[in-house]
Amino acid sequence: GAGSPAAPLSRVEARRAARAAKESVGVVASRVVGELFITFGVVMLLFVTYQLWWTNVLAGQETDRAKAQIEDTWAKGEQGGAEPDAFEPGQGFAIMYIPKLDVVVPIAEGTNKTKVLDKGMVGHYGEGGLKTAMPSDKQGNFAVAGHRNTHGEPFRYVNRLKPGDPIVVETRNTYYTYEMASILPQTSPSNVSVIDPVPKASGFTKPGRYITLTTCTPEFTSTYRMIVWGKLVDERPRSKGKPPALVG
């Protein structure tokens, strides 16, 4: 008799307790999911910061060292004599100046991503089937690659170059001044004809002394390649001082 009302109450209480437990599990789960999203967001933010900023800082340090090493090698070596016609993969051997873009960047042999491009340097197509001329060659196409975004991004703004804008390459003995001639805004990465001795689509129709800059496009992707071409307009011994494009 007296204990009979207790049983239904305990069932009600049990249901309430079960609901409370479910709610607490749901709250805990939502908190966990929320914290995971926040953590993921922080990690992504850090990764983006690393890619957009820190890789440029590291590349800047690498290119400063490479430029100093190149200049030190020139200072210690004998002036005059023929330019070396071969370099080890990854070896810095020249310095490129694009005055309009405030670019000063070492050029290394080869286009290896880790050893050259990701260190902020520009890489010369100098190996295997993609071997191209050196600036000192009396005929041919000196073709190079560089990052457009991250890792120093030396070629980020090459799309701003206009015909006549100078591109200067400094080697151990010589300043080579090229003038920008034309641009191909987009082409397939497999289109290697753009670095031919007489590059396709460049507007050049006969052998000469050319330069080709290649980089990825659109920005922050590697889907296509952007190509900028130039032609040699001046060859000046370093002993004579800087060319007009680098003075003033």
Q: Is-contact 167 95, C-beta < 8 A?
A: no
Which one from 124, 151, 156, 225 is the annotated catalytic residue? 225
Angle at 245 (CA atoms; ends 173, 151), nearest 5 degrees? 80
> Which distant-in-sequence residues (6+ apart) come within 8 Å of 142 by Cβ?
124, 132, 133, 134, 135, 169, 209, 210, 211, 212
Active site (annotated) includes residue 225: yes
Of residues 65, 151, 216, 236, which has the active-site annotation? 216
Q: Vertex 246, ends 243 and 248: CA angle to 5°?
A: 115
In the residue annotation, 147 being an active-site residue is answered as: yes
36: number of Cβ within 10 Å: 10
Number of CB atoms found within 10 A of residue 179's CB: 17
Q: Which of 147, 148, 156, 209 is catalytic?
A: 147
Identify the DSSP state of 193: G
Question: Which positions are annotated as active-site residues?
Answer: 147, 216, 225
